Amino acid sequence: MALEDAHIMDGLDQLEAQSIFILREAYRKLKPLALLWSLGKDSNVMVWLARKAFMGHVPFPVMHVDTGKKFPEMYAFRDEYVRKWNLDLVLGECPPVEDMDPSLPPAARSAARKTAGLANLIDQHKFRGVVAGIRRDEQATRAKERVFSPRGAGHQWDVRNQPPEFWDQYATPYEEGMHVRVHPLLAWRELDIWRYIEREKIPLVDLYFAKDGRRYRSLGDQDITSPIESNASTVAEVIAELETSRTSERAGRAMDHESEDAFERLRVAGYL
Amino acid sequence: MTQTHSPSSQVRHGVSTPIVIVGHVDHGKSTLIGRLLYDTDSLPDGRLVQIVESSRKRGLAVEWSFLLDSLQIERDQGVTVDSTRIPFQLDGRDFVIVDAPGHRQFLRNMITGAADAEAAVLVVDASEGVREQTRRHAMLLRLIGINHVIVLLNKADSIGFDEARLKQVEGDIRQLLGRLEINVNQVIPASARDGDNIATRSEKADWYRGPTLLEALALIQPPASRHALPFRMPVQDVYRFEGIRYVAGRIERGTVREGDRLEIGGQGQEATVAEVCRWHAPHHPVAGAGESIALRLEPDLVPDRGDLLFPAGDEAAAPLKAARLRTRLFWLRGEPLRVGESFRLRLATAEHDVTVASIDAVVDLDDLSLSPADEVPPDGFAEITLAVARNILFDPFAPGMPDGRGVLVDRHQKIVGGAPLIGPAALPEGANAIHPTASGVSDAVRAGLRGHGRAVFWMTGLPGAGKSTIARHAEEALSREGLHVTVLDGDTVRSGLCSDLGFSPEDRRENIRRVAHVARILADAGQIVLVALVSPLVRDRAMAKAIIGDDWHEVFVDTAPELCRQRDPKGLYAQAEEGRIAEFTGVSSAYEPPARPDVVVPGDGDVARSVRHLTEAVYRAVR
């Protein structure tokens, strides 16, 4: 009766099941809840997982914090899939770069706009839970994150005083003005994301695929993201390329490299 | 590496094996991790350069541990603050290293990292042997249920890989872990810094016949399948989309198939599985342990979150049922735990109100002995009994299984301890048995009835500081505003509730304990309580704070000692100075002012101003 047996779960199945569990916990415990949709590959996977969790629906708003500097292809992608996936899109604007902390290096300063835009949006809608698609393997500071990461009033991340988190029990906010960042993809690696995209046939903006020998491995604002040399023009080719790659995914993100602590300062203030 | 590793065919593709590295501070955990990554060729380009660069900047030789100290603040402090995870590959098998810090105050971070691990490497400095954190971490490995433990006798080069000495340390460790009922996979003499017996066999220990660390890791068996066990699914939520009701949850163990008859725990109802639902996946009528699914039930019942679904009509496949639970506690709160405290017990998706009925034994980490105690200290381990108002369903805790993973949270949903459920607890004999019942009235309902929140303001200060006077005036002022206030002052309680007590340190402590419990009962009823009690010792006030919990506000009535003596409203200073009262605070026994009181009320000026100071703090707390 082999047909009647339960599947043996592979690594992707396990990651998927865990992410669904996390999204369902967030939806149950943190109301109102919203999901940050950056239009990149990870956040598309996250929207997809939400649809897995809620039987094809995304029962909470998706937020796009618009820096106004995204690639035109990304805006087209957004408008297409808001319709196709029946998403409740909430748009947020970012303050001008002149308003940002002048002691930050230039690219970090540009990235800080997004943090400020996000903070405004969260305050305006009084969101208690914000689902974000960061992963531990992206960046050393993110490796320290919790699945449910409480943010104090003012959105500060208290990295030295994080709550214990074990046995799938997550902290939920306990003070006025706090919110919780929820990270369903924390345990995923870049390759897992791509293998899942391949398995589930999740649509992506074309910028991830090589044109004229270059493609984007990670997508941020136009002015602070640069493409890598690559000939990978399909999902399968990207996977093959990553299986042998030894450089970091965010190598094309300028603000990660400006100074030893610039990225951590961004994150403490609420950057993803 | 000539020994055979487990063949890749045994390994499920894409499934990572999490391993946690634990051990006493400075026994070499971070160095080991850096070395492991280097030896398995798992460092991304650039990382090695970064380490070399960082080491050079700080004037050091290549320092493997810098790899982990990726946060600026950590490097500045020179300690690893939080757990982190680093993947590496070994013969095609994926591992994730969970790094846990060795500093005892960071126990909660270690648990966060270690709780999901399948195996642990316990690092012990070969020349130092078992130390306090070695025992603490070993204890924790037992409580979180780690199946495989590999012991690495690190820095063995410092004692020249001397067989006799290493065997001695090995014996100590095996004895320690044996007492904790932990199976030891291997004990490996090694040097992480130089790479001896990490990836390659060391020539310095030719007497050693066992595996290198990498070989030992490759031998770790993946966890046994949970499919063959009786089905359990705690309900996570219930949705309704397009007129269809879905009962959502993750299967903790066993399998479920369409047509199965399930009991819905907590309600005692039964239903049949009409459909196993997934989105964007081929329909499959069966689901197994680990899957997050949704079920359609027939009849279309609406279970609550936390209800346990399990096979109906099969007593052997049913979970246990009990209202008194034996647990092995690891305590994470900054203040001690005492009998009588109430919490929410989270068990998978269920939550139950529980009260600590007894502290049965506390573990002494110097020798791992169990002894009775009144309280569990911060970061302590203990066996305690929890009482629930009604029977709950559970499966006892077992290593490597999701069963019985109880977690205690306080009123603010903060996690304060892990409480693996060992089994039902017998009722104690005799009149001392405690059977607390949980109130069904929620805090919100009480606050709604009263029109305000609850709070305890614990006013401490020298005799004659003006505590009772200020409290009584504040009581009047607040009552005029329609707030429900009770004052508990020293002389009043000593005339009745505590009339059997004197003024020895023990009796004072007992006095404070009783007043704290009364204050807590009043606060639980929604009352604002003003306690006016000298309560001179920090230690005693900490006890009161632990009893009262989150409603506690410490008020220091700050009056100059000369003024108190001069006022002497009850003539006590005069008597004490004549030696007629022994142990009088401020004269013949010490007063310890609070280091960080929540409110400071000046006691030497205008009374009305002092009262206003206090009432404003009360308003802030309860409105």
pLDDT along chain B (623 residues), means of 10: 36 72 86 83 66 68 59 38 67 80 61 85 94 89 88 95 95 92 92 91 92 93 86 97 96 96 85 96 94 96 94 90 93 91 95 93 87 89 92 90 93 90 75 55 70 91 90 92 90 85 84 91 90 90 85 92 83 78 78 89 86 91 86
| Beta strands per DSSP E along B32-117 | 84-90, 93-99
Residue type, A44: N
**Structural domain boundaries of chain A?**
11-189+260-268, 203-256
Cα B285 from Cα B275, distance rounded (Å)? 7
**Contacts B257 to A, Cβ<8 Å:** 4
CA distance B307 to B300: 15
A260·B14 Cβ contact <8 A: no
Binary contact (A55, B246; C-beta < 8 A): yes
Among B262, B296, B317, the domain boundary falls at B317
Q: How are beta strands B455-460 and B552-558 bridged, if at all?
A: parallel
d(CA A76, nearest CA chain B) in Å:
25
Distances (CA, A) of B112 to A16, A24, A145, B398, B518: 21, 21, 11, 18, 36
C-beta of residue B289 within 8 angstroms of C-beta of residue B253: yes
Query: Across the interface, do B81 and A52 touch by the CB < 8 Å criterion?
Result: no
On whether both B193 and B328 belong to a single domain, the answer is: no
Task: Count CA within 13 A, CB hemisphere, residue B540.
Answer: 22
CB-CB contact of B319 with B264 (8 Å): no
Range of the domain at B525: 445-622
Closest residue to B87, CB basis, from A5, A137, A251 = A137
Q: What number of other Cβ atoms are within 10 A of residue B17's Cβ?
A: 21
The closest CB to that of B237, out of A5, A24, A140, belongs to: A24
Residues B500 and B595 in one domain: yes
**CATH fold of A11-189+260-268, please?**
Rossmann fold (3.40.50)
Instruction: Judge: B46–A52 Cβ closer than 8 Å, yes or no.
Output: no
The CATH number of the domain where B379 resides is what?
2.40.30.10
Chain B CA closest to residue A201: B280
Q: Does A174 touch chain B (CB under 8 A)?
A: yes
Question: Which residue numbers of B belong to the known binding site?
Answer: 461-468
The answer to whether residue B607 is domain-embedded is yes
Which among A14, A189, A264 has the least Cβ separation from residue B87?
A189
Give the least confident one: A195-204, A212-221, B564-573: B564-573
User: Which residues of B are the active-site residues?
Assistant: 535
Strands B599-602 and A148-151: unpaired
In a domain, B413, yes or no: yes
Contacts of B395 in chain A (CB under 8 A): none
B367 and B458 Cβ atoms separated by less than 8 Å: no
Q: What pLDDT digit, counting tens, does each position of A30-78 carry?
A: 999 999 999 999 999 999 999 999 999 999 999 999 888 788 899 999 9
HEC per residue, chain A: CHHHCCCCCCHHHHHHHHHHHHHHHHHHHCCCEEEECCCCHHHHHHHHHHHHHCCCCCCCCEEEEECCCCCHHHHHHHHHHHHHCCCCEEEEECCCHHHCCCCCCHHHHHHHHHHHHHHHHHHHHCCCEEECCCCHHHCCCHHHCCCEEEECCCCCCCCCCCCCCECCECCCCCCCCCEEEECCCCCCCHHHHHHHHHHHCCCCCHHHCCECCEECCCCCCHHHECCEECCCCCHHHHHHHHHHCCCCHHHHEHHHCCCCCHHHHHHHCCCC
User: Residue A184 is encoded by which pair of tokens?
Assistant: 């369903």
> Most A CBs within 10 Å: which of B256, B292, B333, as the mutation test of the A interface?
B292
Whether residue B275 is found in the same domain as residue B404: no
Is there a single domain that holds both residue B187 and residue B281? no
B18 in any annotated domain:
yes
Same domain, B111 and B159: yes
Distance from CA of B607 to the nearest CA of A (A): 33
pLDDT of residue B171: 94
| Same domain? B515 vs B615 | yes
Supply the pLDDT for residue A44. 97
Check residue B126 and report its DSSP letter: T
- In angstroms, the CA A1 to CA A270 distance is 52
Interface of A with B in 106-125 (CB under 8 A): none
Interface touch A6/B287, C-beta < 8 Å: yes
Residue B435 resides in a domain: no
Shared domain check, B304 and B342: no
Distance of CA B32 to the CA centre of its chain: 27
Asked if B239's CB is within 8 angstroms of A54's CB, the reply is yes
Distance to chain B for A214, nearest Cα, Å = 20
The pLDDT of residue B615 is 92
Q: In what order do the strands lie in the sheet with B84-90?
A: B84-90, B93-99, B17-23, B119-125, B148-154, B184-189
Query: Do residues B362 and B376 make contact, with C-beta atoms less than 8 angstroms apart?
Result: yes
Confirm whether pTM is higher than 0.80: no
Measure the CA–CA gap between B149 and B571, rounded to whole angstroms. 67
Asked if residue B433 is part of any domain, the answer here is no
Please indicate, yes or no, whether residues B373 and B417 belong to a single structural domain of this protein. Answer: yes
CA distance B360 to chain A (A): 24
Q: Please indicate, yes or no, if residue B430 is contained in any of the structural domains.
A: no
Residues B468 and B547 in one domain: yes
Three-state DSSP at B461 gives: coil
Range 126-165 of A in CB contact (< 8 A) with B: 136-137, 140-141, 143-144, 146, 159-160, 162-165
Are the Cβ atoms of A146 and B112 closer than 8 angstroms? yes
pLDDT of residue A255: 60
Q: What is the pLDDT of residue A250?
A: 63
- Side-chain half-sphere exposure of B217, counting CA atoms within 13 A: 30
How many domains does the structure of chain B reveal? 4
d(CA B575, CA A144): 61
pLDDT tens sequence across A92-141? 888 888 888 888 887 788 778 888 888 889 989 999 999 999 998 776 67
Contact between B144 and A166 using a beta-carbon 8 Å cutoff = yes
Same domain, B48 and B103: yes
Q: Is A98 exposed, middle or buried (0-12, 13-18, 19+ CB in 10 A)?
A: exposed
B497 and B563 share one domain: yes
Q: Which of B87, B111, B279 sits opposite A56 (nearest CB)?
A: B279
Chain B residue with Cα closest to A246? B44
**Cβ within 8 Å of B, A 221-250:** 246-248
Q: Give the pLDDT confidence score for residue B533 in this predicted structure.
A: 93
- Among A168, A174, A200, beta carbon nearest to B413: A174
Token pair of B322 as six digits: 């009990």
Is the pLDDT at A224 greater than 80, yes or no?
no
Grade residue A1 by pLDDT with cuts at 50, 70 and 90: very low
CA neighbours closer than 13 Å in the CB half-sphere of residue A13? 17
User: Cβ of A84 under 8 Å from any chain B Cβ?
Assistant: no
Q: Please tell me which residue of chain A has the smallest CA distance to B417.
A: A164
Tell me which residues of chain A, numbers 35 to 74, contact chain B at a CB-CB cutoff of 8 Å. 51-57, 59
* Structure-block tokens of residue B451: 């029109």
- B214 lies in a domain? yes
Closest CB to B415 among A14, A56, A164: A164
Q: B60 lies in a domain?
A: yes
DSSP B232: B
Of A11, A17, A25, the CB nearest to B291: A17
Assess A172–B contact: CB distance below 8 Å, yes or no.
Answer: yes
Would you state the pLDDT for residue B136?
Answer: 87
Residue of B20, B40, B49, B72 for testing the chain A interface, max A β-carbons within 10 Å: B72
Residue of B nearest to A186 (CA): B85
The span from the first CA to the last CA of chain A, in angstroms, equals 48
Among the listed residues B124, B114, B134, B126, the one whose alpha carbon sits nearest the alpha carbon of residue B180: B134
Residue ending a domain, choose from B424, B456, B480: B424
pLDDT at A265 over 90: no
Nearest CA in chain A to B108: A164
Instruction: Kindly list the distances between the CA atom of residue B183 and the CA atoms of B118, B132, B141, B175, B321, in Å, as whole numbers in the listed order.
Output: 13, 20, 11, 11, 30
The DSSP code sequence of B419-452 is: EEEEEEPPPPSSTT-------SS-HHHHHHHHTS
Substitution target from A1, A18, A19, A55 for chain B, most B beta carbons within 10 A: A55
How far is B434 from chain A, CA to nearest CA, in Å? 29
